[in-house]
């Protein structure tokens, strides 16, 4: 089904679907190792190292000589504590735009997936909610594609923000 901008309700922004992998690796020791894992998981895809985790990921890059567009490859060099400290900025300025634009990506973390898992809340754990949101978005529970959103709008209100799941192309891997 092809959805055009005029077919969508006015509250749903148009989203272009970029082809390519959505890869997340944990327990990665270096950018070189991440590149090796990415190449093994998505053969024939060209990955381009990117560094900024608190800036907008941009738009898909233009393909070179008729090939597919390169896929951004981001490796977190810091510790899990560093990631926790910057979780709000990473979520708002990097992860949310990356997922909302449905850009292809490859992310690598030196820590395990438990950092992004839901935990019990205590006082002063605001960063925990951001980490949980990052984990949920990377697992593919983010905003539905525009066609699904317009069908849902026609069928009535949602029960809960956490009750619906969308399909995902994400691959979560740990060492």
Whether the pTM exceeds 0.75: the reply is no
pLDDT at 118: 85
Per-residue pLDDT tens for 83-131?
999 999 999 999 999 998 888 999 999 999 999 998 876 666 667 889 9
Per-residue pLDDT tens for 23-43?
999 999 999 999 999 999 999
Give Cβ neighbours of residue 172 (< 8 Å, ≥ 6 apart): 24, 26, 113, 138, 139
**1/49 Cα distance (integer angstroms):** 34
**22/99 Cα distance (integer angstroms):** 9
Percent of the chain, pLDDT > 70?
Answer: 60
């Amino acid at each position: 089904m092809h959805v055009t901008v005029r077919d969508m309700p006015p509250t749903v922004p148009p989203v272009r679907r970029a082809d390519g992998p959505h890869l997340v690796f944990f327990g990665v020791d270096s950018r070189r190792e991440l590149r090796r894992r990415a190449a093994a998981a998505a053969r024939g895809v060209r990955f381009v190292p990117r560094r900024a985790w608190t800036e907008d990921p941009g738009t898909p890059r233009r393909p070179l000589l008729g090939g597919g567009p390169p896929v951004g490859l981001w490796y977190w060099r810091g510790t899990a504590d560093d990631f926790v400290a910057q979780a709000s900025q990473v979520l708002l300025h990097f992860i949310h735009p990356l997922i909302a634009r449905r850009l292809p990506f490859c992310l690598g973390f030196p820590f395990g997936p438990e950092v992004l898992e839901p935990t019990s809340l205590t006082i002063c754990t605001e960063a925990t909610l951001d980490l949980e949101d990052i984990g949920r978005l990377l697992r593919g529970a983010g905003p539905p594609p525009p066609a699904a959103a317009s069908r849902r709008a026609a069928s009535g209100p949602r029960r809960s923000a956490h009750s619906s799941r969308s399909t995902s192309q994400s691959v979560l891997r740990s060492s």
